Structure formats: C-alpha cells, structure tokens
Structure 1
C-alpha cells in the first residue's frame, strides 16, 4: 500500500478531489482535528451538511500488516453503517458503490463521516440518567451485532466474571493497596457500585 506522500494540506486536497469525484460532495472551510494517532482528519462544510473526512495513515498500521488492518477496518465500518441503519446513535458513513472506505488518486484510503457534536465527559461526572441511557444504547448495539448477520461463534471467546467474582477481585486489590489512600478511595467507589448492581440485579 506504500507510504503517504505530501503534506497534510496536499493530502487534504487529494481527498477533496476524490470526494467530489466519488461522492459528488464539495468541501469547504476545512478545520483540522488533532485527536488520534497519525490519521489525518478535517471537519468540513458541504452542500449536504457538516462532515468529517478521515485519512487512514499507512505509517500507523504498517507494522501490523496493512492488508489485515484494511480488512478489519472495512468490517468495523460496515458494522457501524449497519448499526446506524438499525437506529444506533452513531455517525453515518457515506458510501460509493457500497464501499465505505474510498481510495484517492494518490492511493490514500479515507472515509467521509457525518459530523456529530458532543462533549467529552470526565470519569465520575456521568449522571444516573446518562449511565442508564449509555446502558440502553450498549445493549441495543449488542442486540444488533448479535442478530445473526455475522454468524455465530461455536466457542465463547470471553466469559465475563460473575458479580461475586468481581467483588472478590476488587477486595483483593483493596487489600494490596493499603497505604495508597487515592487508590483505596477509587477502589471503595468501585466496590460500592458493584455491590449496588449486585443487590439490584
């Protein structure tokens, strides 16, 4: 797959041209997004709303085997599109001839995703209603993913521990953390939360 060439600005222009050709979408007012490792991203205005264009860095995934990474990215993004179509609140991906990942003339792999605004919440700041909503959405995602579309594994890859096992584990960690008041405070909160779910489950 080679290595990305050009400056971020040149790569953006390459993706802009490809998006016009493949998706009939004209970009303007690009704003670089800096979170994430090596993948270049821009928030852009279009005649169909605000989108994010994301380039997949070849350098980032080179040591993992680019073909395998490309396969896994394709699977994940197709599932995201399927989740969107089944009502999961996630960004919509734009497709061309059923492709979710597009390739520019210079060989850059990229996606165009609907922009969704939101806030990053710090740990411990979620309200009860937000946690309840998160749980409902997570359950919905699992139900969609496990609807048989992807087949079924014959061997369970992960069996979550029981709540009793979780409590025992946290109490062991608590005993090992004596003297570390900050850790003990956090562990006690985790134990209290686990016991709450155990009593209401």
Structure 2
C-alpha cells in the first residue's frame, strides 16, 4: 500500500494509543516519519464524509499558511483514502509532542497556543 500510494517503504510501524476508537500507527520510512490514522467504522458513521474531507482540506490549508499542523499526504488528489475492504484512512506527517498537564501550562505555552488559534480563525477555510 505505502509504495503504491505514497512512494515510500515502511521500515517500522508502532501503534499510537490515543483517541477514541480510531487506530493510529507511527510509520518510520526512508522519506520521513508519518502517522497513519484508520477511522473506526462506528465513529466514522457519526459524521458526513464531506465533513471529513472539508476538515482535512482545512488542515492542509492551515499547514500551508505556516501554522504548527501536520501535513496530510495526498494520493491522486485525495487526502482521505479507502482500502479494498472499505476501511477509511489518511496519512500525515508525524509530529512529536507532549500533552499539557491540566493547570501546568506556562504563560508562554498558553500565549503560543492562543496565537496559533487566532491565526486558525483568520483562515476561514472551514466556511468555504
């Protein structure tokens, strides 16, 4: 799948255990580190597919504007993909990070988060 669709060979894959129902893997490749996100069918059914596509396009737009956001990998002009069995997934650059401990964020961290959020609101991609 990875060579056929994205032009890279997976050297190692490690599960990422976070989130609700969706499954994720950190993929180490010769072309960088990526995250594969596989959408759980029960959760996927809760949303209209056009909302997923719009959210992924918005994420791509905020990444292209220089905001700290993973870049979504495209294949044949699409960001959301499906296996032959119908499993929906997407691939994006992997971003290491740490979760904030409630009440422990510094002033600088909160300022940076607020500034990035403000810039995201200036990009009205979601409304288009």
* Higher-Rg member (1/2): 1
The residue correspondences of 1:158-173 to structure 2 (distance < 5 A) are none
Greater percentage in strand: 2
Q: Secondary structure at the match of 1:28?
A: strand
Q: Which runs of 4+ in 1 moved over 2 A?
A: 59-62
TM-score with structure 2 setting the length: 0.90
Q: Which has the higher contact order (CA 8 A, sep 6+)?
A: 2
Q: Paired residue for 2:43?
A: 60
- Select which of 78, 95, 108 maps to 2:57: 78
Three-state SS of the structure 2 residue aligned to 1:142 is helix
Structure-1-length-normalised TM-score:
0.59
- Name 1:145's counterpart in structure 2: 124
RMSD: 1.7
Aligned counterparts of 1:20 and 1:58: Cα–Cα separation in 2: 25
Q: Normalized per residue, which structure has more helix?
A: 1
Deviation at 1:20, TM superposition (A): 2.0
The alignment partner of 2:127 has SS state of coil
> Does residue 31 of structure 2 align to residue 48 of structure 1?
yes
Q: 1:112 to 1:106 in 2, by over 3 A?
A: same
- Aligned position for 2:68: 89
Instruction: Say how many residue pairs are matched.
Output: 128
- 1:141-179 CA distances to partner (integer Å, 9 max, x unpaired)? 111126xx834xxxxxxxxxxxxxxxxxxxxxxxxxxxx
CA shift for structure 1 position 59: 2.4
Residue among 75, 100, 114 paired with 2:79: 100
Please, which runs of 5 or more residues in structure 2 have no aligned partner? none
